[in-house]
Amino acid sequence: MDTRSFNKFNPIARFRAPPPTVGVLRLYGVIGTPSPWSRHLSLSGLAQGIEKAFKFRNLKAVALAINSPGGAATQSALIAQRIRAMAEEKDVPVFAFAEDVAASGGYWLACAGDEIYADENSIIGSIGVVSAGFGLDGLIERIGVERRLYTSGEKKALLDPFLRAKPEDVKLLQEIQGDVHESFKGMVRKRRRGKLRADEDELFSGQFWTGRKALELGLIDGIGDLRTVMRERFGDKVKLRPAGLRRSWWQRRHGNAGGAAAAGPADWAGGALAAVEERLRWNRFGL
């Protein structure tokens, strides 16, 4: 009789406790509302995966595998809030693991973890807010184009790239950025309470650091990778179960665009601009 047959009729083997399980949720990429040209991280795209990560049998923890240069503040907050809500509902600890980068919104996601780990060379931090755009008013003047814009509401055309920026409009944008920055700082203060070991002026300046320096500053709890830390915490028999959603053959072949094969020039232009924007976010951290 082989081992499997023996275990089938062995009541002790049949009722042996299953190995501990850790649900693994991958948070890779720029954060923001998905478009036909990108697969940005968003709550709508991750909600089912988050639910799945907390439903495995004999679950001991959920691990977040993060590799993100940031993105939209609102989506960062919504994703982190949903993870924390599930952790509290299921009474399960969450561990965050930064890979190449967990910066800006990526660090916001990491703060959803009860403990944060990174590689010595990971990029961590960038706790700030940025808005970018182009001023094209001089260009259209040189090529002889007249901008015609009609609005109802004096602030409706706020910071239009084809108009010269007004100081009062810039001030309003900075006030909005300040509000978002305060939300970000509040998240870090709450989740890293008692662990931060540097002045807030330094930590919240938008600067970023390597994992080694981030550990000194108290932004992370340790140096380590997901598999090693989880095996140390829950034993060599721990099962790491990915919580990603299954994608159909069509989705794997064509991505989110679906009808990409029939896309017109505008679609290709949008895709090119989205790719450039995403590449710039990674390039900011030397990646």
Q: What is the mean pLDDT of residues 107-113?
A: 98
Q: Which of 155, 156, 166, 190 is catalytic?
A: 156
Q: Please say if 239 is a catalytic residue.
A: no
Look at residue 249 in the predicted model and tell me its pLDDT: 45
pLDDT single digits (tens) 53-82: 999 999 999 999 999 999 999 999 999 999
- Token readout for 18 is 């299953």
Q: Would you give the DSSP letter of residue 107?
A: H
Look at residue 162 in the predicted model and tell me its pLDDT: 58
CA 39-205-198 angle, 5° bins: 115
Has residue 254 got a pLDDT over 50?
Answer: no
Q: What is the mean pLDDT of residues 121-126?
A: 96
Give 20 or 282, the one with higher predicted confidence: 20
Q: Enumerate residues 6+ apart whose C-beta is below 8 A from 34.
A: 40, 42, 44, 45, 256
What are the residues facing 208 on neighbouring strands? 125
pLDDT single digits (tens) 1-24: 454 554 555 555 555 778 999 999
Has residue 216 got a pLDDT over 80?
Answer: yes
Q: What is the dihedral of CA 204, 209, 213, 215, to 10 degrees?
A: 60
Decide: residue 247, CB within 10 A, 0-12 exposed, 13-18 middle, 19+ buried.
exposed
Look at residue 77 in the predicted model and tell me its pLDDT: 97
E-strand spans in the chain? Answer: 21-28, 59-68, 94-103, 115-118, 123-125, 208-210, 222-223, 239-242
Q: Please say if 60 is a catalytic residue.
A: no
Q: What is the mean pLDDT of residues 34-39?
A: 66
- Please tell me which of 8-12, 131-135, 213-217 the model is most confident about, judged by mean pLDDT: 213-217
Q: Enumerate residues 6+ apart whose C-beta is below 8 A from 210.
A: 120, 121, 122, 123, 124
Give 183 or 282, the one with higher predicted confidence: 183
Tell me the residue type at 191.
Answer: R
Has residue 39 got a pLDDT over 50?
Answer: yes
Q: Domains in the chain, ordered, with CATH? A: 19-134+184-283 (3.90.226.10)
Look at residue 192 in the predicted model and tell me its pLDDT: 97
Q: Which of 104, 122, 126, 239 is catalytic?
A: 104
Maximum alpha-carbon separation in the chain: 89
Look at residue 164 in the predicted model and tell me its pLDDT: 66
Average pLDDT, the chain: 80
